[in-house]
Amino acid sequence: MNLDSKNNKLLIIGCKPWDNNILEVQGLEYAHFIDYYIGDAPAIILETFHHIDVNDVGIYSHMTENPAGKLSEFTNIYAEYFNTIIIDWATYQHFNRDSAWTDFAKLLKNDGKLVIPIISCNIMTNESNALEKAYILSDKLHNFNGIDLYNYENMPTLPSNLLTCDRLGNSDEMIKMNPIIIFATK
């Protein structure tokens, strides 16, 4: 897949186009980005960045001065627009609204892919392994026609260069945790 193609509509959840580690990834000039955190935004924000709360609360923790949009409203505007949605390493566990997974399915074109990296443990709490977490999350992806689980080393090459550039800047540590990558196909 050619990430820099205007025909490939790519949505990245949990990153911003001005994140330093994302700047190194080739082919993101046409990508759209969703993140709830906007505190480090440049003076001019690209129209492909969307300040969105995936939990539809409209705010995230202490950032009440910058209310975010809601994923469900974004979904109404961009229904069946994206070929690929990639969720950042450190993002999926913040989803408290199970219907967000339905929203992601609605955002994808037919045969579109949702890519979710699952790490083996929460760095802070040492919770369950990646495969167990991937199975639990897979049960929430009932609006997808196919769900494939891959070890990081064996996954399709589609987003590998992007998945190694997480916003926290510690992808080497993430890879050491034996991640499982979910590819859900609409």
Please name the CATH architecture into which domain 10-185 falls.
3-Layer(aba) Sandwich (3.40)
- Residue 34 pairs in a beta bridge with 13, 50
Residue pLDDT tens, the chain, 186 long: 445 456 678 999 988 888 877 776 777 778 899 988 877 788 888 889 999 989 998 665 444 556 678 999 999 999 999 999 999 877 888 899 999 999 999 999 999 999 998 886 655 555 558 888 899 999 999 999 999 999 887 877 654 455 555 555 556 666 667 788 999 999
Q: In what order do the strands lie in the sheet with 82-87?
A: 69-70, 49-53, 32-35, 10-13, 82-87, 108-118, 180-185, 146-151
How far is Cα 160 from Cα 81, in angstroms, rounded to an integer? 22
Residue 184, number of CB atoms within 10 A of its CB: 25
How far is Cα 58 from Cα 36, in angstroms, rounded to an integer? 9
pLDDT at position 152: 80
Place of tokens 């064996």: 154
